[in-house]
């Protein structure tokens, strides 16, 4: 009897995760969360006029890709996003794996909740 060992996908580096988060944030054209974003930041004292989703509101990892760090203790606004995932290949090896989307709750932060990341060499 042969046993199959599960192979784990390789771990992604922080830089890869951050770049992927920024790509998802800028390419996704959904406006479904805009109301929650405006209301959430208004409750935090940030005027609606200063809130521009996909311009100055991003996830933690997207801010890292943009060279900024969310300040310790800051809380974001919770929104729902959809993640693209790859499906499993057919058992007989024929055909393409079907992709699918699933929802995930994430926190987004306004630029005023971040600081520039200083280069490591300094």
User: What pLDDT was estimated at residue 120?
Assistant: 76
Nearest 5 degrees, angle CA 73-CA 75-CA 79?
155
Q: Confidence band (pLDDT; 50, 70, 90) for 72?
A: very high
Tell me phi and psi for residue 89, to 5 degrees: -70, 155
| Cα(85)–Cα(100) distance, integer angstroms | 5
Q: Is the pLDDT of residue 2 over 90?
A: no
Q: Where are the domains of the chain?
A: 14-116
| Cα(38)–Cα(41) distance, integer angstroms | 5
Which pTM value belongs to this model? Answer: 0.73
Q: Which whole number is the average pLDDT over 93-122?
A: 83
**Counting beta carbons within 10 angstroms of the beta carbon of residue 21, is it exposed (0 to 12), middle (13 to 18) or buried (19 or more)?**
buried
% of the chain residues with pLDDT over 90: 43
Structure tokens at 32: 């479904």
Q: Is the pLDDT of residue 90 over 60?
A: no
Stronger pLDDT, 47 or 84, i.e. the higher one: 47
Q: Across all residues in the chain, what is the average pLDDT?
A: 82
């Amino acid at each position: 009897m042969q046993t199959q060992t599960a192979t784990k996908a390789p771990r992604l580096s922080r830089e890869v995760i951050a770049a992927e988060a920024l790509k998802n944030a800028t390419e996704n054209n959904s406006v479904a969360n805009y109301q929650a974003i405006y209301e959430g930041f208004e409750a935090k004292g940030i005027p609606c006029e200063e809130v521009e989703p996909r311009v100055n509101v991003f996830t933690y990892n997207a801010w890292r890709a943009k060279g900024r760090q969310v300040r310790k203790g800051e809380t974001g606004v919770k929104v729902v996003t959809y993640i693209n995932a790859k499906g499993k290949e057919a058992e007989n090896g024929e055909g393409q794996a079907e992709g699918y989307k699933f929802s995930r709750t994430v926190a987004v932060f306004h630029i005023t909740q971040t600081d520039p990341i200083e280069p490591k060499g300094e």
